[in-house]
Amino acid sequence: MTNGSERMAILGGRGMLGTDLQKAARQHGFTVGVFDLPEFDITNERHLRGAIADYDVIVNCAAYTNVDGAESNAETAYAVNAGAAERLGRLAVESDKYVLHISTDFVFDGRKDGPYDETELPNPLGVYGRTKLQGEQLLSQTGCRHSIVRVQWTYGKAGNNFVSKMIQLARGGKPLKVIDDQVGSPTATIEVAAALCDLLAADRRPEGLFHYAAAGYVNRCEQARFIFDTLKLKVDVSPCRSADYATAAERPLNSRFDCDKIQRYLDKPIRPWQEPLAEFLEQL
């Protein structure tokens, strides 16, 4: 908790994670400012300088997240994911702000046989992952006080995601083929938000790189089956391979994270992915 006088700016604060972080941060005693499109453009230095001026802690949830679209819009993806992160870092140094920057499992190629910890060398497969990695590196090089939290397979009420897509497809009543060779941890943004607030407690604020995801792993096909079973939807689901779908960008097949490092800063153990997902589905 904070002493009630600290202020948090959430860049990209109306997205899926930002929306849940707003609520969690207020519950932890922060005064919260929300900055997002259309009135706030993170690539605009004047906007950025104005957004962080009156805040103690800056959380950057803003990102260009269209994985396939990034392949043909590399300049925009770089401007948002990398260039803006560097600019944020420089401004944070000038005014001595602490920055928490959100990144992604897409910085890895997914070819490792086992979970990725923070010491693993990244090797992104496409423009999205490459620009997110560049954002991490450029922010770090500014020397600002910061932490970077990589997340994966997120879902929440305020955005489109795998869970909402599966439910929408199920309503069509047709048999579904779902990929079974991509493995990771479905992670609720409400859980990410709580973890970020733990990191941002006034007596913590560690610097460095962290991985956060729900505990346990599952493939996408089994995740879909869990969703349908929980909602008692009768859907004919069969497995397929990533290679069966033609996409502009390749996805990492292994997104498993080792989250031991961040767990040391959290007030509660990270929960198995099934529990938050079941709660999320029950609230729909």
* Residues forming the active site: 128
Partners of residue 208 on adjacent β-strands: 147
Decide: 177 and 239 in contact? Cβ < 8 Å. Answer: yes
Diameter over CA atoms, the chain: 57
Reference 152, options 113, 184, 108, 107; nearest CA is 184
Both structure tokens of 207: 């610097």
Sign of the dihedral through C-alpha 116, 117, 118, 119:
negative
Report the first-to-last Cα separation within the chain, whole angstroms: 30
- Residues 123 and 129: their CA atoms lie apart, in Å, by 8
User: Quick one: CA torsion of 198, 203, 204, 205, rounded to 10 degrees?
Assistant: 100
What's 11's DSSP letter? E
- Residues 88 and 63: their CA atoms lie apart, in Å, by 13
Reference 214, options 121, 166, 170, 279; nearest CA is 279
Which ranges of the chain does DSSP label H, i.e. alpha helix?
Answer: 16-27, 45-52, 74-78, 84-95, 127-141, 162-170, 189-199, 220-230, 260-263, 274-282
